[in-house]
Amino acid sequence: MTTAPVSVAVAWDDPARQAAFQAWLAPVARTHGLRPDTLRPASSDASFRRYLRLDGSGGSFIVMDAPPTHEDVRPFVAIAAMIQQAGLNAPQVLAQDVEHGFLLLSDLGSQLYLGELRSAVAAEDSARADRLMRAALSALVVWQQRVDASTLPAYDDALLRRELALFPEWCVQREFGVVWGADELAVWATTVDLLVASALAQPTVAVHRDYMPRNLMVCGDVAAGPGILDFQDAVRGPITYDVASMLRDAFISWDEELELDWAIRYWQQAQKAGLPVPADFGEFWKPLEWMGLQRHLKVLGIFCRLKHRDGKPAYSADLPRFFAYAHKVATRYEGFGPLARLLEPLMGATRVDAFY
């Protein structure tokens, strides 16, 4: 028996893994009417996963290639089923080889939310941007209402602190070569304690952890909601986390008036759905901003780690965006002023204190 050919457009660093893939794909291709000769790269992300696309009698399909030494596909399979049971749109797992990290998925297309939002901004089509953002936040309400958080790992004290520790290690030290002294370390310790306490005080729901335009797809009617990707790291955690991710994105920024409008609309829908949000919007917005600050600091560390450890420097181009997010929040709330002073030398800002 001969195995299905693999397109030369797809490179394999490990011949043994390529052979395992061919052996898996051959019977899967026969079962699902696939054409292995059409296999081609679809996309990659910041992890060790990559995605391949191939054609079949029923259209196109996606293969996830997730080396098991780095990735575990089982959470993806489990959470994809949960999302579909919630009535939301996620890739359907059509075939799986958990041992080797290969999945055959339905194809949600190539129309990323990020590209659509950028096009809307470039065309000054504020109505389309608004429709996209509202649809994504409405889908998030359904996610939080219907995806069972009880089966997910906890976004606990230890995980929150591990994430925050990425900032001084990879951003401060590795990216900028700055070594903090005792005073700076004390400021950082206070910052971490404040952010972790705020996060743990919030009601918990299923948290995607990367609910942002780069992980959402436009699938036909915008009002029907986005296709949801990259959900395998979902946890049980703070209700504001995914809202903050959507409003203050890694690759596109909004005026605060728009952030507030979308946050209020989310909050109103969440109330109607019976989600545990505060009765007063102000009591929702502050924890959201603090949760966003935790995420901004974490992402600054992750983007620098991608550059220095993983050889993926492109993400570091968006460091200024996250510094701006973090600095804005740090200067707004009592207790974070010292953090703002730690950030300013790294972001090239000069602070002028005014006394009245």
Torsions phi, psi for 146 (to 5 deg): -115, -20
3-state secondary structure of 3: coil
Q: Answer yes or no: is 1 within a domain.
A: no
pLDDT for res 6: 43
Q: What is the dihedral of CA 61, 143, 97, 103, to 10 degrees?
A: 20
pLDDT for res 234: 97
The total number of structural domains that make up the chain = 2
- Do residues 98 and 122 both lie within one domain? no
Reading the block at residue 123, the tokens are 């065309």
pLDDT for res 43: 77
Question: Residue 24 belongs to a domain with what CATH number?
Answer: 3.30.200.20
Cβ(354)–Cβ(331) under 8 Å?
no
Reading the block at residue 136, the tokens are 């994504």
Cβ(251)–Cβ(318) under 8 Å?
yes
Mean pLDDT by 10 residues, the chain (356 residues): 49 91 96 94 76 92 93 95 96 96 95 96 97 98 97 97 98 96 98 98 97 95 93 97 96 96 98 98 98 97 95 92 96 96 85 38
- Do residues 96 and 177 both lie within one domain? no
- Do residues 232 and 209 both lie within one domain? yes
Cβ(269)–Cβ(284) under 8 Å?
no
pLDDT for res 7: 45
- C-alpha 117/C-alpha 293 separation (Å) is 23
Which residues form the domain of 185?
113-347
pLDDT for res 11: 87
pLDDT for res 155: 98
- C-alpha 166/C-alpha 179 separation (Å) is 14
Q: How many CA atoms lie within 13 A of 204 on its CB side?
A: 16
Nearest CA to 328 among 293, 303, 297? Answer: 293
CB atoms within 10 A of CB 25: 24
pLDDT for res 44: 63
Question: Burial of 23 by CB count in 10 Å (0-12 exposed, 13-18 middle, 19+ buried)?
Answer: middle
Cβ(47)–Cβ(70) under 8 Å?
yes
- Do residues 121 and 100 both lie within one domain? no
- C-alpha 246/C-alpha 259 separation (Å) is 9
